[in-house]
Structure 1
Amino acid sequence: MQKVLPDHRRPNGIGPGSYDEASYALGYSKHELRRLALQAAFIRDLTEDFLRRAGLARGMQVLDLGCGVGDVSLIAGQIVGPSGAVLGVDRSREAIEIAEKRAVEGGQCHWVRFDVAKLEDFNPDRKFDAIIGRLIMMYLPDPGATLRRLADRLRPGGIVAFQEMAMPSVRSVPDGLEFRRCRRWILETFERGGFEVDMGPKLHTTFLEAGLPAPQMIAAGRVEGGPQSFVYDYVAETLRSLLPFMERLGIASAEEVQLDTLADRLRAEATENSACIMPPPLVGAWTRLDVPLNEER
């Protein structure tokens, strides 16, 4: 499933199949790290339900890939408790520092720990009961190969569980001009950056490409409306993080987006139209590995 952009569509500094600070569309700014925390609160219950369905339980040893500021790691930490352990890994040192502070503040620092590592280089020296992640596969040049390599670190009966977006499914009913422009900007930026915007539905194929048993899957999402909804700020803050990348790609300028009033414009449009806003649903896939992959062949 490796995605390589033609040369004429690659922004400067982004090579074929790369996944680095230059090619992570949302960037690593302090603002983006705050946005991640806001996003996590918005979808926390969807992820907790998914992890419990996947089989996470007290006492498990869990590896969280692409943990960011630690949201999924901390949810997993609450599920496995002090008798278990969670290791979250991410390439951003700034994100890991925030995650570590949050673990201390939440009283989980003794069993939820973090490490700075690039997934393509990460080779843990111990086994886990579960490997999990949220919104990380869409950024990997070959997610199937990454899963296959790291699944070797699972104990027999270990769980593989990932949750990704179906971004093209985002919609407003009825549609509105402001919302339609935001949808186009976001999707086009991710697509032209070489990232998989429809990773959620592709998790089934990805698991099979990794040599894993066919996963169970579920989709869940928020449905928003009315003037008090957080969804307008969610869209606006996503575009704020995307803007530097959007401008590099020539998709839209700061003058066109007008970030300072965007959330209010979206709110006014939706309220006037009595619109229902449906952010991208989260698709979760999970499976159990009865025997290690290297023993199956």
Structure 2
Amino acid sequence: MMYNLLAEHAPKIDRDQSTTDPRPYALGYTEGEFKRLELQGALIHDLTEHVLRSAGIGPGMRVLDIGCGVGDVSLLAGKLVGPTGRVLGVDRSAEAVDVAERRATESGQCYWTRFTVGELDKFSPDETFDAVIGRLVLMYLPDPAATLRRLAGFVRPGGLIAFQEMAMPLARSFPEAPLFSKCRGWIIETIERAGFEVDMGGRLPMVFAGAGLPAPQLNSAGLAGSGPDSPIYDYIAGTLRSLLPMAEAVGAATAAEMKVDTLAERLRNEAVEQQMCIMLPPFVGAWTNTPG
């Protein structure tokens, strides 16, 4: 009965997926990319949970997660709001939404954590939410302030806006090493040449201001790795595997340069030999309330 009740009152979504932004997602929509997203979600789960809890996401709230991908942030929000709340995740990729729905079912959250396919500049829910959230999505929008301003219109007065984005130029290692430096350069150059923002973390206060929102509270946290057992090497290699078609298309790197099939092991060897500390880009969280 709970499922039928939620389905009956679920928000109606405009599924017109036409969009004013013709740029493809830089990392693609392959099965390998979906697995990379799940690994990323596991690695930064605690960092994102801290942002959502700090923002005030809690039991019984109605939450909209934009650019939800395979559902990591939606499922995290679903855990925080519980069965008395509701989470709706929206993504342009039907394949990603299929994965997210499967994961929600497997986690037992499918009664209150739901997903739909839609473009952020087109979909229009027929209900008001207590919060709009997102992770690593504003960096891919052609006008993030305008989109955020429109999305804030779906939030009740005094409701929450919370986003988490990367400050990619701050990634580094100590000591500096050739292969890691190349990987960092390939990633940043590919995303920049593809037309996306590599330092959305640093730009979050400006984006919030441009959306007409109060200045946000901020935090910054990151991941670091060392030694032979760190998952960071696989994460970096997986990111470049997903980026490779775009990297070649924009002239940032070639498959012959990356040698992606052996990249994780070569990064691991370099790090172990040089006793490196690899510091991934910090994730900047920003949250505020809509004007009451």
If the length of structure 2 is used for normalisation, what is the TM-score? 0.92
Specify the alignment match of 2:157 in structure 1: 156
Specify the alignment match of 1:109 in structure 2: 110
1:24 CA displacement:
1.1
CA deviation vs aligned residue, 1:215-253 (integer Å, no higher than 9, x gap): 000001112111100001111000000000111112211
The alignment partner of 1:184 has SS state of: helix
- Give distance in 1, aligned partners of 2:29 and 2:167: 23
Specify the alignment match of 1:78 in structure 2: 79
The alignment partner of 1:76 has SS state of: helix
- Give distance in 1, aligned partners of 2:253 and 2:20: 23
The alignment partner of 1:235 has SS state of: helix
Specify the alignment match of 1:250 in structure 2: 251
The alignment partner of 1:131 has SS state of: strand
Specify the alignment match of 1:145 in structure 2: 146
Specify the alignment match of 2:288 in structure 1: 287
The alignment partner of 2:230 has SS state of: coil
- Note the 1:251-266 alignment, pairs <5 A: 251-266=252-267
The alignment partner of 2:265 has SS state of: helix
After TM superposition, what 4+ stretches of structure 1 lie above 2 angstroms from structure 2? 17-20
- Give distance in 2, aligned partners of 1:25 and 1:150: 23
Flag structure 2 segments of 5+ consecutive residues without an equivalent.
1-18
CA 225–57 in structure 1, closer or farther in 2 if over 3 Å, else same: same
1:290 CA displacement:
3.5
1:19 CA displacement:
3.7
1:23 CA displacement:
2.2
**Considering only aligned residues, what root-mean-square deviation do their CA atoms show, in Å?**
1.1
- Give distance in 2, aligned partners of 1:68 and 1:116: 10
Structure 1 contact 57–80 (Cα < 8 Å) conserved: yes
CA 89–55 in structure 1, closer or farther in 2 if over 3 Å, else same: same
Specify the alignment match of 1:273 in structure 2: 274
1:18 CA displacement:
6.2
CA deviation vs aligned residue, 1:97-138 (integer Å, no higher than 9, x gap): 000000000000000000000001011110000000000000
1:192 aligns with 2:214: no
Specify the alignment match of 2:95 in structure 1: 94
- Give distance in 2, aligned partners of 1:249 and 1:234: 22
**Identical amino acids, percent of aligned pairs:** 61
Specify the alignment match of 2:11 in structure 1: none
Specify the alignment match of 1:167 in structure 2: 168
Flag structure 1 segments of 5+ consecutive residues without an equivalent.
1-16, 292-297
- Note the 1:188-267 alignment, pairs <5 A: 188-267=189-268
CA 19–226 in structure 1, closer or farther in 2 if over 3 Å, else same: farther
Tell me the amino acid that sits aligned with residue 239 of structure 2.
T
CA 279–19 in structure 1, closer or farther in 2 if over 3 Å, else same: farther
Tell me the amino acid that sits aligned with residue 132 of structure 2.
I
CA 169–203 in structure 1, closer or farther in 2 if over 3 Å, else same: same
The alignment partner of 1:197 has SS state of: coil
CA deviation vs aligned residue, 1:250-281 (integer Å, no higher than 9, x gap): 22111111111110110000111100000011
Structure 1 contact 77–111 (Cα < 8 Å) conserved: yes
After TM superposition, the structure 1 stretch with the greater mean CA deviation from structure 2, 247-256 or 157-166, is 247-256
CA 30–280 in structure 1, closer or farther in 2 if over 3 Å, else same: same
- Note the 1:111-130 alignment, pairs <5 A: 111-130=112-131
Tell me the amino acid that sits aligned with residue 219 of structure 2.
I
The alignment partner of 2:44 has SS state of: helix
Structure 1 contact 19–139 (Cα < 8 Å) conserved: no
CA 250–169 in structure 1, closer or farther in 2 if over 3 Å, else same: same
Structure 2 contact 129–154 (Cα < 8 Å) conserved: yes
The alignment partner of 2:248 has SS state of: helix
The alignment partner of 1:24 has SS state of: coil
If the length of structure 1 is used for normalisation, what is the TM-score? 0.91
CA deviation vs aligned residue, 1:60-101 (integer Å, no higher than 9, x gap): 000000000000000000000000000000000000000000
Specify the alignment match of 1:5 in structure 2: none
Structure 2 contact 67–91 (Cα < 8 Å) conserved: yes
1:53 aligns with 2:74: no
After TM superposition, the structure 1 stretch with the greater mean CA deviation from structure 2, 119-128 or 63-72, is 119-128
The alignment partner of 2:164 has SS state of: strand
Structure 2 contact 213–291 (Cα < 8 Å) conserved: no
- Give distance in 2, aligned partners of 1:251 and 1:155: 44
- Give distance in 1, aligned partners of 2:220 and 2:76: 19
- Give distance in 1, aligned partners of 2:34 and 2:234: 15
1:157 CA displacement:
1.6
The alignment partner of 1:240 has SS state of: helix
- Give distance in 1, aligned partners of 2:154 and 2:252: 41
